[in-house]
Amino acid sequence: MTLKDRVAIVTGGTRGIGKGIVRRFAALGAKVVVIGTNGETALQAAQELEREFGTETGSFGCDVSDAKQVDQTLDAVVERFGRIDVLVNNAGIARDNLILRMSDEEWDEVLTVNLKGMFHTTRKAVRQMLRQRSGSIVNITSVVGLTGNAGQSNYCAAKAGAIGFTKAVAKEFAAKGIRVNAVAPGFIATAMTEGLPEKMKEELSRLIPMKRLGTAEDVAPVVAFLASDDSAYITGQVLTVDGGMVM
């Protein structure tokens, strides 16, 4: 598998699962553009990749929930690199609460970053991909978008929405050389899950047939596969990476 000289944008590429993805992409020869909310953090992440893998990189501070920032950022990527081959919509947040206690802000924030952000970046990137008549988009959803999870109605709605979005956009662009797929990780050890109570982590681990939490390195190769030409005849699919938790 190779991503040699492919220009790949990864939102939320500064840490967690996104960091695993940018490292994998850089190892496969891609020119990686790291996006995070903070420009300085994104720059540091990109410099780290350059040092370790000797690959060309770009970095941008960009809030994906802001359409204007997204448009400007992706314009700057095309100006600098000339194309967009891969877009990974990985940026995401959680604001968990039981439905009776959930505020409008918690609902809106999660839907706006996790789902509307994906719409903003996709709408802009496909314009360039249409010109090229090629491109691969990988959306990071979650197994809870398939199963639901108590206390995460906002997050589950966004992640289930991302699956519908993936399939709709896949159908719109299948004949134009643009593929759109989703990856649904299970329970992955990152900052997002670090704060969960120990007891909940133990209970969740018990539900995983493979008896361990996943890592960013478990997810990244699957994203790389969907980004690469090795998956040339795959579109509109959701691949779960969850140690067998949902089957």
Q: Which stretch binds ligand NDP (CB under 6 A): 48-56, 76-84, 86-94, 122-130?
A: 86-94
For 220, left (φ over 0), alpha (ψ -120 to 50), or beta? alpha
Q: Which is nearer to ligand NDP, 190 or 231 (by Cβ)?
A: 190
233 counts as catalytic: no
- DSSP string of 7-27, one letter each residue: EEEEETTTSHHHHHHHHHHHH
Q: Which is nearer to ligand NDP, 134 or 149 (by Cβ)?
A: 149
Binding footprint of ligand NDP, residue count (CB under 6 A): 30
Q: Which of 17, 30, 32, 49 binds ligand NDP (CB under 6 A)?
A: 17
Q: Is 90 in the site for ligand NDP (CB under 6 A)?
A: yes
CB neighbour class for 122 (10 Å; exposed up to 12, middle 13-18, buried from 19): buried
Q: Is 237 in the site for ligand NDP (CB under 6 A)?
A: no
Q: Which of 33, 87, 137, 140 binds ligand NDP (CB under 6 A)?
A: 140
Q: Is 243 in the site for ligand NDP (CB under 6 A)?
A: no
User: How far out from the chain centre does Cα 185 lie?
Assistant: 10
Q: Is 16 in the site for ligand NDP (CB under 6 A)?
A: yes
Rounded distance between C-alpha atoms, residue 169 and residue 122, angstroms? 9
Q: Is 192 in the site for ligand NDP (CB under 6 A)?
A: yes
Q: Is 113 in the site for ligand NDP (CB under 6 A)?
A: yes
Q: Is 93 in the site for ligand NDP (CB under 6 A)?
A: yes
Q: Is 205 in the site for ligand NDP (CB under 6 A)?
A: no
Q: How far is CA 232 from CA 137, 138, 174, 177, 236, in A?
A: 12, 13, 11, 9, 12
Catalytic residue among 25, 60, 107, 155: 155
b/e map 173-196, b = 16+ CB within 10 Å: beeeebbbbbbbbbbbbbebbeee
- DSSP string of 48-65, one letter each residue: HHHHHH---EEEEE--TT
Contact positions toward ligand NDP, by CB under 6 A?
Answer: 11-12, 14-18, 35-38, 41, 63-65, 90-93, 113, 117, 140, 142, 185, 187-188, 190-193
